[in-house]
A and B are shown apart, each in its own frame.
Chain A
Amino acid sequence: MDLALYLAQQLVNAVSLGSVYALSAIGLSLVYGVLRLINFAHGDLLALGAYAALALLAVPRLPLGAALLLPVALVGAVGLAVERVAYRPIRRAPEVNALIVSLALSVIVQNLLVMTLTAQPRPFHLPPQLAGLLLLGGVVVSRMALLTTALAVGLMTALHLMVRRTRVGTAIRATAEDRDAAELMGIPTDRVIGLTFALGAALGGFAGVMLGGQYGRIDPFMGFLPGLKAFVAAVLGGLGSVPGAILGGYLLGFGEILFVGLLPPALSGYRDAFVFTLLILILLLRPQGVLAGR
């Protein structure tokens, strides 16, 4: 087996996986920036996105783009609602309370999904245009992965530009930096926070769609592990930084795939341990995360 080809294949997988983590991590990081909240229910937003996409894909004559992108809006709306109902009342409370609330929300969402839809994993059927593989110079790439990675990169770029260049983005950055000052300057911080939350949720929702598409099955618990990894990725890149979250996401994705790929089979069980050890080392060398600051 060609080493170069093998590495190329691993690279492709790493980019795919990294995109999922990056998307989720941006959401977490953004929300942290304005709310100082680590949203542990983020993983469940992924699951919601996947289920929404599954439902929409089954609607006849709905254009593909809509089926893939509507879940983003839907989950974003859910995020808005959640922020208003659950997080706004505790905004002035100690940080760790919001953590608990997010965990409670996660329990509620998961149990509701199990109660209404059962825990049975469901296949994520792709329409014929998206199913199937491409062979690019010996490397296997699934059409769905290609499309969703492209969309993910597009979304991330759009978000980054929005945060950096638009007035809304400036409002977000201002609120993140100093909420009270921002309010004094006339920025409607409540609305900004709501919007930020919605954006983060929307991105998470799309990450869920990607996951569902790439791996072909969804279940109510599918978001738990990616949510945790998104947290790790966000911290790695520096909490509150969008480019940092993207970098952290890809770093984590690459780290995971490469460890499995390059470690001898007997050691591949230690993969998570290696990834976390590396993470701890990075944090020790750069305690604020790799790209601290905005």
Chain B
Amino acid sequence: MRAAVLLRTGGTAAAAVLLLLLAERTLNEYHLRLLNVVGINVILATSLNLTNGFTGIFSLGHAGFMAVGAYAGTLLTFPVARKAMLLPDLPRWLAQVEWPFLPALLAGGALAALAAVAVGWPVLRLRGHYLAVATLGFMVIVQVLATNLDRYTRGALGINGIPPYTTLWWVAACVAATLVVLGHLLDSGVGRALRAVRDDDLVAQALGIPVARYRLGALTLGAGFAGVAGVLWAHLITVISPGAFSFLLTFQIVVMVVVGGMGSLSGSVVAAVLLTLVPEGLRRLEQGAVVAGLTIPPLFGLSQIVLACALVLVMIYRPAGLLGQAEVGWRHLRHLRDLRQRRLPAREAEERG
């Protein structure tokens, strides 16, 4: 079996690399930029799904973790010369560092994870909406700190001229890492334990699962990936400011998770892709047009209304999200094929060894 798995993984990876090379050759800057944003949103959505969907923690603070990562990563990669200009009051050790991208990515994720531990420790005692409000509070506090700690963040002015390190390859690598880590985690015993915690934490506790520790772990891991996404985002947009990490951003990610299906990793991927690309595609609606001699004036905001209506329809007609709790992957495709060919019992016996 191992050979087959290795072959499959290798094949998928090779195909992905080829696709990326093709994309880089043929697509223009705009499309490449979109792909990068899609990738970042995939990381954000899947990591939030780990926390909210699989572990049942109603966290509204994801933008806050993203902000921690973004600012941390930026302060580390920002060229020393520019630091002297824009951030003259940084402490000496920070003012003199200029890190390459990879360590900054890791540091951003690590700091966000640390923030999650600090916040989660007290706050995870709460449940449901109370937890939601508390995590919302955390996000507000991060925003306020970013706006007021001028020495480190330039406050409301934000930091601009961030080196544009984010490329398709970096995003793809981070997306792959996120999906591999989360995929394996959720497939494993730990993953099942998390679902148990979500479904009924009393029973889970009775079964011997260290509920508090697992919840904190889920929050921390989710936050870590959000931090990485934040570093990627900062080095793509090249400007960060406190206003960018707002409640609106958190909600955009929550929508992706819910629309994709709160128990489905692949659902989050699909939703992230759709909800990033569809608004862009809808831009044309806003230009206004001349139809049969009638001039339709440009109607800005129409694309958002259309998207919102589509969202409502999805919620009404597919309440569990587009993929519900199902997953899409090689194993599942094979399962579907087997179902169709009624080869199921034999296959299951084979897998059980």
Contact = CB atoms under 8 A, between A and B. Distances in A.
Given A105-B312, A228-B247, A280-B137, A239 B144 contact: no
A273 B140 contact: yes
Contacts of B136: 228, 232, 276
A151 interface: no
Given A103-B251, A115-B301, A287 B315 contact: no
A284 B125 contact: yes
A114 B258 contact: no
Interface in B129-152: 129-130, 133-134, 136-138, 140-141, 143-145, 147-148
A93 B319 CA distance: 6
Contacts of B251: 103
B268 to A, nearest CB: 14
A283 B136 CA distance: 13
A97 B319 contact: yes
B228 interface: no
Given A97-B258, A272-B140, A86 B312 contact: yes
A45 B320 CA distance: 28
Interface in B284-303: 299-302
B168 interface: no
Interface residues of B, number: 42
Contact of B315 (A90, A114, A270, A283): A90
A270 B150 CA distance: 13
B130 A89 contact: no
Given A93-B319, A97-B315, A111-B304, A272 B144 contact: yes
A99 B312 CA distance: 10
A107 B122 contact: no
Contacts of A97: 258, 315, 319
Contacts of B122: 280, 284
Given A228-B247, A276-B137, 17 more contacts: A90-B315, A90-B316, A94-B262, A96-B58, A97-B319, A99-B254, A101-B311, A107-B305, A111-B301, A112-B301, A231-B133, A277-B137, A279-B137, A280-B123, A284-B126, A288-B130, A289-B130
Nearest 5 Cβ contacts at the A-B interface:
A93-B319, A276-B137, A111-B301, A104-B308, A273-B144
Interface of A: 32, 38, 86, 89-90, 92-94, 96-101, 103-105, 107-108, 111-112, 114-115, 228, 231-232, 235-236, 239, 269-270, 272-273, 276-277, 279-280, 283-284, 287-289
